[in-house]
Structure 1
Amino acid sequence: MKTITYSGSSRTIQGIALVAALFVAGCASIPAPTEQMAVSKAAVNSANSAGGNEYAPVALRAAMEKMDAAERAMAREDYLIARQQAEQAQVDAQLAASTARAAKAQKAASELQEGNRVLREELNRATQ
């Protein structure tokens, strides 16, 4: 019995089959990003509570829009897009929360400086 081999084209076909199998397996094996969705929702809520709506409205709005897109992708069972949108929403929400906290800290520092200035003026008047 004779075996006929086509060394060049056989390897090419095997390579294509392997890539196709990996692609199909990769698409089928993406789990629903339920944990990422929960973490991202918590980040958006935290940013909102931190004052993101007042101090970082653009970043908070972007986070909320991306979270909505992630939820729509979950409903379509497009888990890759859902994960990506949820991750981006989390980053935007963290930016909004950090910006809000920094703005609040700056405002508090300014109020303390103003309070110190007023106290110095009162001390100067009292010692004159």
Structure 2
Amino acid sequence: MDSNATKPKRDRTKRNAKGERSTHGRVRGIVLWDNAVDTSVFYGRETGLAQLWQWIMAEGCRVVGLLGIGGIGKSTIAVKSALGMQAEFEIVMWRSLSNAPPLEELLSNLLKFLMPIQGEDPVIPATLDEKLILLMSICDRSDVC
């Protein structure tokens, strides 16, 4: 039995800060693409794009891993997919893990970006555990993650 079969679907209806439904499908202002790859030349991956759309939009999957050897287009399909779905989300944030920073630095950067959006004072916790707890708390109480 599929473990997702009993889970309710996430409500992807766009809402404003007051919880009212949005009347448009555009990204409402918070997009951070960091150093995302150029996807202007993209072909032959429609099946992969459709599968990512299915997992993320239809099934409400919150984490998807793309695995494979270097140079096969994992980053390109991820960016192309995110570009195609960005109108469905209030916040889009891309972080490349090429030459990845240490986990604590990555978490600090994520928190510096997300905390002001959530109306929180951007005081970053000192320990890795505290950073993870805060990030999970932000994700748990909002539809950001």
In the superposition, the TM-score normalised over structure 2's length comes to 0.20
- Considering fraction of residues, name the structure with more strand: 2
User: Please, what TM-score do these two structures have when normalized by structure 1?
Assistant: 0.22
More helix by share: 1
